Structure 1
Amino acid sequence: MIDPRRLRILRAVADHRTVTAAASALYLTPSAVSQQLTALEQETGHTLLIRGGRGVRLTAAGEILLHHTHTVLAQLERAEAELEAYAGGTAGDVTVAAFATGIAEVVAPALGLLAGDHPGIRVRVRDAEGDESLPLVLDGEAEIAVAVEYRGAPGVDDLRLARVPLYAEPFDAVLPAGHPLGAADRIALAELAHERWIGPYPGNPCHDMVLLACEQAGFQPSLVHSSDDFRAVVALAGAGAGVALVPRAALRGMAWEGTVVRAVSGPVPTRRVFAAVRRGAEHHPLLSPVLDALAKAAAGLSTG
């Protein structure tokens, strides 16, 4: 009989690629993780991992078991959700990990909706960049992620996660006031090919989106200044330090002093925002109302 607790450890090791990182995510010691993996190999009668200097990788048998692990763990999430529903669980804590703009745009309004409709649900908000929230959910440190599409993000068919689309928004060009292109209604990105650029740090999903948009326009931007805070990005543009692409929602309510903001013509870089939970937990009586509230708060936010 395979112990499902060991399957969770197997998935964590597959996600994090090292025993040490998986142990940290699971709040276990590396030796405890190694012992559980050895026990799992004894239970299955197969070598599941190949250990090397840079980490571990799954064997063919390990990949087969991992595929079934996603199904088993999702079914366990469903079982827990049904048991909670049977017990009438309408009160409890839910941790939502979300990036700053997502908190302002959908999480905070959703809290207002929940306070009236589900006062027993206590939401705890955790600020996390768009690429950080999904690992927090997979590692069990949060129940819901509000995340963005990014290069390398788990896809809609990922067996570990269930997703709810929330909204999509374009990136707008932010230029210093007086820029020659500021008089146009729309700007083609190729016209900014030789500019100095301001943008998020590598690793931020918006960094990837900016690079991809510029690559599609036929150039690589010269990123001179870096900040993950869009207020700082706009301030730098206003000081004449360069140009930037900023998600439209991040610009809402922001002072644009010293800048002009223009829509982008052609293929428009777009930030797509979604909520995600561990697959099987989407109907949990505590999580389902939060997902519904996030969707209601996001209604009408998509812009073109």
Structure 2
Amino acid sequence: MDSHRLLVFRQIARTGSIAGAARALGWTQPAVSQHLRLLERQAGLPLVLRRPRGVRLTEAGQALLRHADAVAARLQAAADEMSALAQLEGGTVRLATFPSAGATLVPAAMSLLATRHPALDVRLLQAEPPEALELVVAGEADLAVTFAHAGQRPAEPSGLVSVPVGTDPVRLVLPRGHAGARAGDVDLRSLAAERWIAGCARCTAYLEEVCGTAGFAPDVRHGSDDYVVVQSLIAHGLGVGLLPRLALDAFRDPRVAVRDVPGLRPRTIQVTHHREAARTPAVRAAVRAVLDAAADRSAGRRDPGQGRAADSAHSAASSS
């Protein structure tokens, strides 16, 4: 199967039309159509269904697109490696990350990269873990910093590998005037009658799981994947919630209190990239910078928390 035609087909699939692929490639539509016909002849199956305003992939086309993505990623890894070798750690690395890491861990890693490899061009993209992994699969990002809550299996599409970065403790966030704010550790069962503020889909699933383990179903009244909004809702007495430490490091509303919940397991952080990209110097340097930034945070950062709860969280993080 001709790899060049495979990449042309990938452009058709990504743009959703032959005209869109022609514009992206700088070709004529007949030239793109001819490559598609020849590829379908090689495949022995129709790959697209032509519609008035574009195309829709057939089942065979969807299967072939996965291979086309892998070929494109392999070719991009080869091009990046050659560029890095020629420029002595030059080139570009594109990093996708979720918001709270993008406000804390990742800028520190980018600063390390700027110091160690000033010729390296680092581009930051913000995306939640599922979308970040899709960017890596599609070749639109070189690596992704993602998370998974305890009990949730981190998604890892075929062809990708993940490197553990560390853990991120999950904390209970209360209005400052709440009775639990005056305690040290808080038993989750004591909050069974509370209203709850939930986060993203994965965070909401985690909240429901830990509350279910404690013997109750949380009364979720509001939801937002913006940790600033969550803390503002809590500060106004509209509920209580769970937030990871990275989110609290990124922003801490002075009107809320943060406490530990015994037995609440941390979420895990990992950095993921294509298996072939492990040989690319820019990707290796970026992974190392993320790991070193995480180690620096664990060893030298004090959690700006509230009294004993903050101290115990920092001790737990340093020993993990």
TM bin (shorter chain): 0.7 to 0.9
Q: d(CA) in 2 for partners of 1:284 and 1:84?
A: 9
CA contact (8 A) 1:74 1:279 kept: no
CA contact (8 A) 1:211 1:220 kept: yes
CA contact (8 A) 2:137 2:274 kept: yes
2:278 alignment partner, one of 278, 282, 290 = 282
Q: d(CA) in 1 for partners of 2:277 and 2:118?
A: 20
How far 1:41 sits from its partner (Å)?
A: 4.1
Which residue of structure 1 aligns with residue 3 of structure 2? 3
Matched, 1:99 2:106: no
Q: d(CA) in 2 for partners of 1:8 and 1:138?
A: 17
Matched, 1:264 2:264: no
CA contact (8 A) 1:137 1:145 kept: yes
Deviations 1:133-191 (A, max 9, x none): 222222233222222226998634x3232322222112111112343333432223333
CA contact (8 A) 2:103 2:250 kept: no
Which residue of structure 2 aligns with residue 294 of structure 1? 290
Q: d(CA) in 1 for partners of 2:165 and 2:92?
A: 22
Q: d(CA) in 2 for partners of 1:140 and 1:9?
A: 15
Aligned letter for 1:87?
A: A
Which residue of structure 1 aligns with residue 191 of structure 2? 192
Identical-residue share of aligned pairs (%): 34
How far 1:297 sits from its partner (Å)?
A: 0.7
How far 1:11 sits from its partner (Å)?
A: 11
The aligned runs of 1:1-304 (5 Å cut-off) are: 1-3=1-3, 6=6, 39-46=38-45, 58=59, 75-149=74-148, 155-156=155-156, 158-202=157-201, 205-252=202-249, 254-268=251-265, 270-301=266-297, 303=317
Q: d(CA) in 1 for partners of 2:246 and 2:283?
A: 25
Q: d(CA) in 1 for partners of 2:154 and 2:10?
A: 18
Q: d(CA) in 2 for partners of 1:73 and 1:253?
A: 36
Q: Taking CA–CA contacts closer than 8 Å with sequence separation of 6 or more, which of the two structures ends up with the larger relative contact order?
A: 1
Deviates more, 1:75-84 or 1:102-111: 75-84
Number of aligned residues: 287
Structure 1 residues 135 and 70: CA distance shift in structure 2, 3 A: closer
Q: d(CA) in 2 for partners of 1:207 and 1:164?
A: 25
TM-score scaled to structure 1, two decimals?
A: 0.75
CA contact (8 A) 2:168 2:267 kept: yes
CA contact (8 A) 1:107 1:294 kept: yes
Q: d(CA) in 2 for partners of 1:242 and 1:89?
A: 53
Deviations 1:188-223 (A, max 9, x none): 333322211112254xx3333323333333433222
CA contact (8 A) 2:47 2:57 kept: no
Which residue of structure 1 aligns with residue 306 of structure 2? none
How far 1:107 sits from its partner (Å)?
A: 1.6
Aligned letter for 2:126?
A: D
Q: CA RMSD in A?
A: 3.9
Where does the alignment leave 5 or more consecutive residues of structure 2 unmatched?
51-55, 299-316
Q: Which has the higher helix share?
A: 2
Q: d(CA) in 1 for partners of 2:124 and 2:99?
A: 10
Q: d(CA) in 2 for partners of 1:149 and 1:5?
A: 38
CA contact (8 A) 2:73 2:138 kept: no
> Which structure has the greater CA radius of gyration?
2
How far 1:7 sits from its partner (Å)?
A: 6.7
Aligned letter for 1:161?
A: L
CA contact (8 A) 1:172 1:261 kept: yes
Where does the alignment leave 5 or more consecutive residues of structure 1 unmatched?
none
CA contact (8 A) 1:12 1:139 kept: no
Deviations 1:77-134 (A, max 9, x none): 5533543354345223322222222123222112221222101012122222333222
**Any idea what SS the aligned residue of 2:169 has?**
strand
Q: d(CA) in 2 for partners of 1:125 and 1:165?
A: 20
Aligned letter for 1:135?
A: E
